[in-house]
Structure 1
Amino acid sequence: MSGQADISAPPGRAARTRPAPAVVLELLKPITWFPPMWAFMCGAVSSGAPLLERWYLVLAGILLAGPLVCGMSQAVNDWFDRHVDAINEPHRPIPSGRMPGRWGLYVAVCWTGVSLAWGGMLGLWGFLATLLGVALAWAYSAPPLRLKANGWWGNLACGLAYESLPWITAAAVLSAAAPSAEVLVIATLYGLGAHGIMTLNDFKAIEGDRRIGIRSLPVQLGPERAARVACWFMAVPQAVVVVLLLAMGAPVHAALVALLLAGQGWAMARMLTDPKKLAPWYNGTGVLQFVLGMLTCGFALRAGAGF
């Protein structure tokens, strides 16, 4: 798709030679920065490091996870999705013409370089994690891999990059050592759970994805089956987390995660009655409980729970 002609400005709107700063910020989508920033914070908590003493590393990592790497991934995605966005969301910066010419690509490349430079300031662990995050972002959106073309692989890459990688990175950077096995396992489980969240996020683009040939799970399975698959992806890893917390000697934390999972179960049951309509509602209710469970696990690991 990158070889197709660029989306031009809508008729009657004067062409711009460069985007306004507000449009660049819109392309980076600040609303999407929360999940990786939250995951980094959970990783920082789980590291056991004195956070007040190392506040500068926490702040630098949160900026890396959100405005930089996540913002960069949004710019990359919007550039390579500009034709499907012209169908699904024509108001976005590139298809609307407010991000003229190839400026969307320029922003993506520039922000990639800034992210790598910033990650390098966090030491070897920070740079390697940033390199992996950047690689996943480009592989997700750009040919020839374009992982998002298949919802099974694309959502997996996205979930791991948004939840697992920032968590593991924070634990490594704050402790200046390889993360513990407990951190690796729990962070990975929450990344797998985020696969379901990404599936629900695809509901808003079903028509355009179908026309362009992106095989998201709602396109492949239909909204009802895709919603059920999403629920299983979200619920099973958290159930495993509850079992692991019990095995690690953290029954109070396990009970809290179980209660949050029960709340998600109620929200899932309601969402499944009309997935296309209620998927956005679930993102404001069930996902909140999902991320609170992440932080609960961070405190369990900080308290010294282990296998």
Structure 2
Amino acid sequence: MTCASKLRAWLRIIRPINCFMSGLAVIVAVLIAQRGLPSMNIMYKVLLGFVTGFTITASSMIVNDYIDREIDAINDPTRPIPSGAISPGQALHAAILLGLIGVIASALTSLPCLIIAIAAWTLAVIYNAWGKRTGLPGNLMVSTCVSVPFIYGGALVERLDLFLLLFIAMAFLANTGREITKGIVDVAGDLTKGIKTLAIVKGESYAARIASIFYISAVALSPLPVLLGVVSLWYVPLVLITDIGLIKASLDIVEKPTRDVARRVKKRVLLWMLIGLIAFAAGTFS
């Protein structure tokens, strides 16, 4: 295997977009909590926060692939571990190293941040080892992990207000819809391991309807920051893109809850969530 192929395998296993979004979420949470750019005297803590968000997420992504290597051999045999590009041992060592980097970065930030980082890493491992088999409760665990970077950012500047809580709620709802949608994609492999996703227990159509409820619930919360006067108008055009995207995702998955459609919706929702993240950051500037 060439160095380029190996690098692509490592990038695929850590899912750099997800990692970047987690690190960015910490920065956005700081912007939201402080209503603008942080002061220079805490900028190094913000950068450490990005490192923590990125590396803890990367670690949890690798743990996910390590534990799911047999399921992935059915659902997606091209994944780095079942394809042989990365060995299980290499993956486990990398997951531990990245997790430790994140914890050390959080320890250099503050005690509350250290506690949150350890709790998030632990929750991610518990989910991958056990929680994912529980279906909806596991989906909620993942969404909690996705929400943690925003809590972390608030803790970093010692401020967790209504505006930040609104964003946490929207991210939690949208991601729960995405996790349920992923269950539709992974039915074949999940059946072999007894994973009780909504798609398996209640059927793909039922799962699609529940996913759409979560997407629409996130959309329903999006006007509140404007109505409460806690964002600038820069928030509006970007959040409209996110809202339209999530509504379209809801319609698509309900109309045709197949594996191919669910896979497409899952990927696009990640983009809409990223734009929503940028919308909240933009809304902190007048």
Give the structure-1-normalised TM-score: 0.78
1:183-202 equivalence runs, <5 A: 183-202=164-183
- Alpha-carbon distance between aligned partners in 2 of 1:25 and 1:282, rounded to the nearest angstrom: 22
Larger radius of gyration: 1
TM-superposed CA distance for 1:35, in Å, is: 3.2
User: Which residue does the alignment assign to 1:169?
Assistant: 152
1:44-55 equivalence runs, <5 A: 44-48=30-34, 50-51=37-38, 53=40, 54-55=42-43
User: Which residue does the alignment assign to 1:17?
Assistant: none
Question: Which of 14, 23, 41 is the equivalent residue of 1:37?
Answer: 23
TM-superposed CA distance for 1:82, in Å, is: 1.5
Q: Is the 8 A contact 2:184 2:207 kept in 1?
A: no
Q: Is the 8 A contact 1:72 1:111 kept in 2?
A: yes
- Alpha-carbon distance between aligned partners in 1 of 2:246 and 2:81, rounded to the nearest angstrom: 36
Question: Which of 120, 125, 128 is the equivalent residue of 1:133?
Answer: 120
Q: Deviations over 1:261-281 (max 9, x none)?
A: 244323422343223222233
Q: Is the 8 A contact 1:39 1:166 kept in 2?
A: yes
**Which deviates more from structure 2 when the two are superposed, residues 92-101 or residues 77-86?**
92-101
Q: Mind listing any 5+ residue stretches in structure 1 that lack a counterpart?
A: 1-12, 14-19
- Alpha-carbon distance between aligned partners in 1 of 2:95 and 2:177, rounded to the nearest angstrom: 26
Q: SS of 1:97's equivalent?
A: coil
Amino acid aligned to 1:272: V
Matched, 1:223 2:204: yes
Q: Is the 8 A contact 2:211 2:250 kept in 1?
A: no
User: Which residue does the alignment assign to 1:85?
Assistant: 72
Q: Is the 8 A contact 1:190 1:238 kept in 2?
A: no
Q: Is the 8 A contact 2:205 2:254 kept in 1?
A: yes
Matched, 1:275 2:261: no
Question: Which of 264, 274, 282 is the equivalent residue of 2:246?
Answer: 264
Change (3 A) 1:244 1:26: closer
Give the structure-2-normalised TM-score: 0.83
Matched, 1:182 2:170: no
Aligned-pair RMSD on alpha carbons? 3.0
Matched, 1:153 2:137: yes
Q: Deviations over 1:21-79 (max 9, x none)?
A: 6644443232432432342232122022534735433333222212x111100111112
Q: SS of 1:275's equivalent?
A: coil
Q: Is the 8 A contact 1:47 1:172 kept in 2?
A: no
Amino acid aligned to 1:94: I
**Which deviates more from structure 2 when the two are superposed, residues 277-286 or residues 223-232?**
277-286
Change (3 A) 1:220 1:180: same
Q: Is the 8 A contact 1:76 1:108 kept in 2?
A: yes
Change (3 A) 1:123 1:285: same
Q: Is the 8 A contact 1:45 1:299 kept in 2?
A: no
Over the matched positions of the two proteins, sequence identity in percent amounts to 23
Matched, 1:64 2:52: yes
- Alpha-carbon distance between aligned partners in 1 of 2:248 and 2:78, rounded to the nearest angstrom: 34
TM-superposed CA distance for 1:128, in Å, is: 1.7
Q: Is the 8 A contact 2:249 2:269 kept in 1?
A: yes
Q: SS of 2:186's equivalent?
A: helix
TM-superposed CA distance for 1:251, in Å, is: 8.5
Q: Is the 8 A contact 1:245 1:253 kept in 2?
A: no
Q: Is the 8 A contact 1:148 1:214 kept in 2?
A: yes
Q: Is the 8 A contact 2:66 2:88 kept in 1?
A: no
Q: Is the 8 A contact 1:242 1:258 kept in 2?
A: no
TM-superposed CA distance for 1:141, in Å, is: 0.7
Q: SS of 1:102's equivalent?
A: helix
Amino acid aligned to 2:27: M
Q: Is the 8 A contact 1:200 1:227 kept in 2?
A: yes
Question: Which of 94, 97, 107 is the equivalent residue of 1:110?
Answer: 97
Q: Which has more helix, going by share of residues? A: 2
TM-superposed CA distance for 1:165, in Å, is: 1.0
Q: Would you say how many aligned residue pairs link Structure 1 and Structure 2?
A: 279
TM-superposed CA distance for 1:299, in Å, is: 4.5
